[in-house]
Amino acid sequence: MAAEKCVSVEFREVGKTYESISGKVEAVDEVSLSVQGGEFVSIIGPSGCGKSTLLLMAAGLIKASRGKIFVDGNPVEKPVRNVGFVFQDHLLLEWRTVKKNLLLPVEMGKNRKISDERIDKLIQMVGLSGFENRYPMELSGGMQQRVALCRALITDPNLLLMDEPLGALDALTRQQVRYELEKLWLERTCTTLFVTHDIEESILLADRVVVMSERPSKVMEVVNIDLPRPRVFSKGIETEFDKYKIHIRNIFERIGVLGSKAHAR
């Protein structure tokens, strides 16, 4: 396990205001959050609350309007290297086969060497053996997202950023890919920020869940999830699990995202 390679991420009073022709949009009001190396942190909040913005800022792909972000103790000023990205859409290149898609970060990054063994192992772990030379369009949605997951992990990233990676999948496939995700993550722990709008999903994989308010967003609460791993097949954690679920639901009801107040608007 290469946990020592894992980087910490720190948001220090970070805010983001988008400026467009139609005016200013306050996406993130103020977020302070400290993520330790090797931690899995879920970020949950209503849509449009700037969750994705937080990820892009952490990767150094867009600039924060206020505050500072540190990755591995260094202030983020340009794109952070060795970051794995998974988005809601798989973003596989349709002109590349599965294997070539996996190798894209290697070919583009140039300086890294990846052994065939590692590729084969990844492919095998997510059940894609035999599909190496297929084009993405030949795969089902779940398989496509699995390839996207492997692509993000191929270079052994120090930081994994996932923006609703299961959002586009149907309920059953979602469970399956979630299982693969946990398996892959346990095999090689790295610092992970996981954006979602699904309460169950946020709890299931996380060490901590960051609950965000509506735009302009703030951190409402950080919930520590104290459940044994692996969680997908663990029996007997249902009651504990439900406790966290209700807790987070209550936060959203309190701030008016869920419940009677939300309906009244």
Partner 1 sequence: MKKLTKRNILYVVLPIAVVVALIILWEVLVNALDVPRYILPAPNAIWAALLKYSDWLYSNMLYTLQQIMVGYAITIAVSIPLAVAVTYFSILDRTLYPIMVVLQLIPKVAIAPLFIVWFGFGNLPKVLMVFLLSFFPLVVNSILGFKSINHRLLYMARSITDSEFRTFWMIRLPWALPSIFAGLRISIAFAVVGAVVGEFVGSDRGLGYLLLRANGLMLTDLLFACLIVLSLLGIGLYLMITLLERIVMPWNVFKKELTKSGGAATM
- Interface residues with partner 1 (CB under 8 A) are 56, 59-61, 79-81, 83, 85, 87, 89, 91, 93-95, 104-105, 107-110, 135-141
- Answer for the pair 198, 248: CB distance below 8 angstroms, yes or no: no
Q: How far is the CB of 25 from partner 1 (least distance, A)?
A: 17
Least Å distance, CB 122 to partner 1, is 17
Q: Which is nearer to partner 1, 91 or 125 (CB)?
A: 91
- Residue 183 CA to residue 197 CA, distance in Å, equals 22
When the beta carbons of 167 and 256 are compared against partner 1, the nearer one is 167
State the minimum distance, in angstroms, from the CB of residue 79 to partner 1: 5
Show the CA angle centred on residue 14, arms to residues 9 and 16, nearest 5°. Answer: 125
**Residue 137: CB minimum distance to partner 1, A:** 5
Where does the chain show beta strands of DSSP type E? 9-20, 23-35, 40-44, 66-71, 74-75, 83-86, 159-163, 191-196, 208-212, 217-224
CA torsion angle for 232, 191, 31, 65 (degrees, to 10)? Answer: -130
Strand partners, 163: 195
Shortest distance, CB of residue 164 to partner 1, whole angstroms?
A: 12
Q: Which DSSP category does 201 fall into?
A: H
Instruction: Name the minimum Å distance from CB 105 to partner 1.
Output: 5
Bridge partners of 256, per DSSP, are: none
Least distance to partner 1, CB of residue 252, Å: 27
Is 5 or 218 the residue whose CB approaches partner 1 more closely? 5
Residue number, 15 or 60, with CB nearest to partner 1: 60
**Which is closer to partner 1, CB of 53 or CB of 217?**
53
Q: Closer to partner 1 by CB, 77 or 238: give it.
A: 77
As a dihedral over the C-alpha atoms of residue 234, residue 235, residue 237, residue 241, rounded to 10 degrees, the angle is: 80
Nearer to partner 1, 154 or 257 (CB): 154
Distance CA 254, CA 98 (A): 45
Cβ atoms within 10 A of the Cβ of 256, count? 16
